[in-house]
Amino acid sequence: MPTLEKIVCDVLEIDPATQGEISHTTHGEWTSIKQVQIMISLEDAYDVTFTGDEMASGTSVARLREMLAGKGVAA
């Protein structure tokens, strides 16, 4: 299973070796369309479902990790 960072980097088409925080504020590639793609990719990869509010709030790798942990997924 790909890591959370790998999934996000693949969707954003950025280097997985990117250092530092990966979020919508640090990477211009993280658009609203990419946001939806990230969330759908995570649902598929981790067999979870996100609500609309969760989809809107998952705007960083750190936040996505918290959200997945809340669903019992160690990512």
**pLDDT, tens digit, 9 for 90 and up, residues 19-62:** 788 999 999 999 999 999 999 999 999 999 999 999 999 999 99
pTM: 0.92
CB proximity list for 28: less than 8 A, separation 6 or greater:
none
Residue 30 to residue 70: CA distance in whole angstroms: 23
Residue 10 to residue 38: CA distance in whole angstroms: 9
63 half-sphere exposure, CB direction, 13 A CA radius: 15
**4-70, which class in CATH?**
mainly alpha
